[in-house]
A and B are shown apart, each in its own frame.
Chain A
Amino acid sequence: MNWFKKGSKTEEDSLLKVIEQFKKSGDFIDFQNPQSPTHYWISYFGSLVDAEIIHRDILPYLNKSSFKKIEDLKAALPIENIVVTSDLGQIQQMMLTGSVLIRLNIADKQGLLVRAEMNKAREVTIPEEEFSVVGPKESFVESLTTNLNLIRKRLPIPELEIKEFKIGNLSKTRVAVVYISGIANEENINTALQRVGDIQFHQILDSSYIAQMIQDNDNSPFPQLIDTERPDRAAGVLAEGSIVILVDGSPHALIGPTTLVKFFSALEDYFVNWQLASVLRILRLIAVTFSILVTPIYVAILNYHYELIPKDLMATLVSSRSLIPLPPFFEALILELTIELLREAGARLPTKVGQTIGIVGGIVIGTASVEAGLTSNVLLIIVALAALASFTTPVYKMSNTIRMIRFPFLVMAELWGLVGIAIAFIFLMGHLLRLTSFGRPYLEPIYPPRIEDLKDAFVRLPFKMQPKRPVELQSPETIKFSEKAAKQKKDIDE
């Protein structure tokens, strides 16, 4: 399999041998056209090239007139980027990505390569994971070119730089690191370029592969790079000084460096007014805390701290639990696992069936287990609310993490009650404090405390009050816009 190697130039290799090897594939086409004035050989992968280009832009010109030299042919074809080469490695590489090889004689060492690759990409559609009611409705697709176009359209400046890599010795996936030079921090760019360039893997199927390979701590349950399907979000963070990584074949862009609170901010926060955005952000953060802690707290309090239960609630709790044979921990564990099962089943099944599963599971199993006396209805409400609250996280990967880290808390609550929850929380905070994203602190506006960045963390203050780029990103160009000019109000008369 020496044709994998780029530019394999052993003396025995010749163009004919390369063609011979290609011929082993059923979709390789190699023929001589005897009817044309000039006899020529044309060879390409039928599955890679666009037949329309061949029939419209190549064959008619070849059949029209006769050529002596291959360079004449180059001038005659109405396609740009035609390469005439005898470099076997290049020929191999280009044919495998959808070029057509034209030779005048079968034994020629030189060939003409015409790009005619098939561009079958999905249409740009409405974002599904990060849907927002207001704001743009475009989302990334699987084609890198389209995705780059979606970003560049929003940032028509020469400083927007795109560095491309080919990663994966089998998949040869194009990976683009996008940043605005002069706004993105040099160190961050170098980190990103170096980490992406250093990736050694055979196949890259999605941007999450890259994310897992370049993130700072591989053993952390927390995602250290935001993945987004919204080009507007990508363009937004680029303008703040972040770095965006796009992968061909993946409709998700990676954003880094990032912080924990950014995972809880939706792009919609910037489209609605700042008061509403702040309320929604706080709501989301409360929801996440609630989602992680409420079941463990239920278990801890029912197991160890009956004193903490308000007297009016006690009757409700006792009566709902009076017939249940299981201790609170197992009761909670069973319900939590049921919810996780439903979620997993719903995610694996086609949309229509998935919805049915959700309804069947939610209503039937829930009510039945309460009626059968296996779980208390108070806990059912708590677990359902916790599940609901975990869905408020705008980034899907983070909501998965939140689903998961509830279980250690649950175990600690069972073992040591509220003390256990506190200990689990200390471990969590310790972990988060040590975590970095592209070398920048993950817990940033909280620790290290950066007052400037708090303006766009738990709350989002008006745009006017945020004239500076986030301290976190260490942008060399700290000022976003002139605060003075923004504050000036021009009168109609002027």
Chain B
Amino acid sequence: MKKIVITIIIIAIVGYFGRIDKEILDELDIVTAVGYDSKSKNKIEATAVVPVVNPDKSISNKTITSIGNLSKETLYYLNKKSAKPVVNGKIEVALYSKQLAEKGLQNYIDYLHRDPSIGTRLLLAVVDGNVKKMLEEPFKEFDTGTYIQRQIIQNIQNGFIPTTNVHLFLSSYYTEGMDPVLPIIELKEKNINIKGLALFKGTKMVDSIPYRKMFVFKALHENIKNAGYKLRTTEKGKTEYISIQGIQTKKKFQVQNIHTSPKITLHLKIKGYIREYTGATVTANTVIKAERLMKDKVQKETVSMIKNFQRYNIDPLAFGEQARSRTRHWDKKKWEQQYKKMKVNVVVDVSIVEIGVVDGH
């Protein structure tokens, strides 16, 4: 009996005083997106989006803004402006203005990485324009944070954005011989538009790729499972368009002479099917032509893209990582010198597997 009483007393004491603070769901301001604008030389402006669920189940947006020096500090100041405690556990997107990205994201990402309640599947993006304005824009159906997250995820799965999140960003940042990339989005006529890709050297944005070249980049960066591509051709003096859909790509690296004068051969296999042709009929010739056209175009773009990377001395396609993982005694410094003059061969192989149910002749 004595034992039981003591046990109950201990459980009661530990249970009551050993609690952590409660965070009751409906009494929180749950942030779904944060954005950072550069305000003045050393100040940044942080904007947080909080979805407000109305009793009639519609969702509206609330944005809280504060200005401070560090990102952690500014998030802390957000609490000051809210009736409910602001919590970070559900942040899905972190947006950075282009100016900030050009200055370097180190300080702002460190915080997201350090907070245990923030998941590493958080998406990062660079915004061309005012971040605050973008986050204040209301979208139907979802709150702004969820909306942007859904759009980026959708474009990762079915579009040209390379797979990205905090974990991958940091992994490519810390990996030797690899540089991170992030998507660039903008607010265009009340819609979120994917503008291109930001190329980073470390955590500093140095260059960007426009949207039309993102297909090639994604194909070189990872295996595409489902995408579309458009080709332009002239048939009997008329401009015709071929739309290739359901594209699947596979890439393969071949690295030679790593220690002396490295040479990389990139094999890129593209498979797809013709879904739309503005010309008369799709013939066997058209297929061969489309294959050749696409092959030439992709090759040309690839070569110029890689030249560009070499000029900026960035390595988003992880050639260095490929070389490092294939040899012992890989020297980073030596590699960086070699990288600029390195020869990259690109072998593209396009095959059109079908042309749709309307049979050509």
Q: Are both chains from one complex?
A: yes
Whether B90 lies near A311 (C-beta < 8 A) is yes
Pairwise interchain contact B25-A315, C-beta atoms closer than 8 A: no
Give the most central of B19, B26, B89: most A CB within 10 Å.
Answer: B26
Closest to B118 in A: A307
- Give the A-binding residues of B (Cβ under 8 A): 15-16, 18-20, 22-26, 28, 30, 32, 51, 53-57, 59, 87, 89-90, 92, 117, 119, 146
CB of B90 within 8 A of CB of A306, answer: yes
Instruction: Point out the residue from B23, B55, B90, B117 that lies within 8 Å of A303, measured CB to CB.
Output: B23
CB distance from B360 to the nearest CB of A (A): 45
Sample 30 A-B pairs with CB under 8 A, ordered by A number.
Answer: A302-B25, A302-B26, A303-B22, A303-B23, A303-B24, A304-B22, A304-B23, A306-B23, A306-B30, A306-B87, A306-B90, A307-B117, A311-B90, A311-B92, A314-B25, A314-B30, A314-B90, A315-B51, A315-B53, A317-B26, A319-B57, A321-B25, A321-B26, A322-B55, A327-B22, A328-B25, A415-B15, A416-B15, A416-B19, A417-B20
> Is B24's CB under 8 angstroms from A328's CB?
yes
Q: Which 9 A-B pairs have the closest CB atoms?
A: A307-B89, A318-B53, A415-B15, A321-B26, A319-B53, A319-B57, A302-B25, A306-B25, A315-B53
A328: shortest Cβ distance to chain B, in Å? Answer: 7
The contact of B26 among A304, A305, A307, A322, by CB within 8 Å, is: A322
Once the chains are docked, how many angstroms separate the CA of A323 from the CA of B54? 10
B119: min CB distance to chain A, Å = 8
A306 with B16, Cβ < 8 A, contacts A315-B51, A315-B57 known: no
A307 near B25 with CB under 8 A, answer no
Could you list 13 further interchain pairs (A-B, Cβ under 8 angstroms) beyond the known A315-B57, A318-B53? Answer: A302-B26, A306-B23, A314-B30, A315-B51, A319-B54, A322-B26, A322-B53, A327-B22, A412-B15, A415-B15, A415-B19, A416-B19, A417-B20
A415 contact set on B, CB distance < 8 A = 15-16, 19
B25 with A309: CB separation less than 8 A:
yes
Expressed in whole angstroms, the Cα–Cα distance for A309 and B23 within the complex equals 13
Q: Which residue of A lies closest to B150 (CB)?
A: A311
Contact present for B19 and A317 (CB under 8 Å): no
Total cross-chain contacts (CB, 8 A): 67
> Chain B contacts of A316 at CB under 8 A?
57
When distances are taken between beta carbons in the complex, the residues of chain B under 8 Å from A315 are 51, 53, 57, 59
Q: How far is the CA of A302 from the CA of B22 in the complex (A)?
A: 9
From 47 to 88 in chain A, residues with beta carbon under 8 angstroms from any chain B beta carbon are: none
For B92, give the chain A residue with the smallest CB separation: A311
Report whether over half of chain A's contact residues are helix, strand or loop; otherwise say mixed: helix
- A-side interface size class: 20 to 34
Contact A304 B20 (CB under 8 A): yes
Q: Tell me which residues from 285 to 331 in chain A have a Cβ below 8 Å from any Cβ of chain B.
A: 301-307, 309, 311, 314-319, 321-324, 327-328
The CA-CA distance from A417 to B25 in the complex, in Å, is 13
Name the contact of A306 in the complex, choosing from B18, B28, B32, B51 (C-beta under 8 A). Answer: B28
The reply to whether A306 and B15 contact each other, CB–CB distance below 8 Å, is: no
A332 to B87, CA, bound (A): 24
A344–B53 CA distance with the chains assembled, in angstroms = 38
**Residues of A contacting B89 in the complex (Cβ-Cβ under 8 angstroms):** 306-307
- Within the complex, the shortest CB–CB distance from A324 to chain B, in Å, comes to 8
The answer to whether A307 touches B20 (Cβ under 8 A) is no
Q: How long is the Cα–Cα vector from A321 to B28 in the complex, in angstroms? A: 12
Chain A, residue nearest B59 (CB): A315
B2 to chain A, nearest CB (A): 16
Q: Is the CB of A311 within 8 A of B55?
A: no
The answer to whether A302 and B24 touch (CB under 8 A), given A311-B90, A314-B30, is yes
Q: Within 8 Å CB of B51, what residues of A?
A: 314-315
Known: A306-B89, A315-B51, A319-B54. A327 touches B30 (CB 8 A): no
State the CA gap A318–B57 with chains docked (Å): 9
A323 contacts across to B, CB distance below 8 A: 55
Task: Name the residue of chain A whose CB is nearest to the CB of B89.
Answer: A307
Chain A residues closer than 8 Å to B19, beta-carbon distance: 415-416
Min C-beta distance of B25 to chain A, whole Å: 5
Question: Roughly how many angstroms separate A314 CA and B51 CA in the complex, as a whole number?
Answer: 10
A416 to B15, CA, bound (A): 7
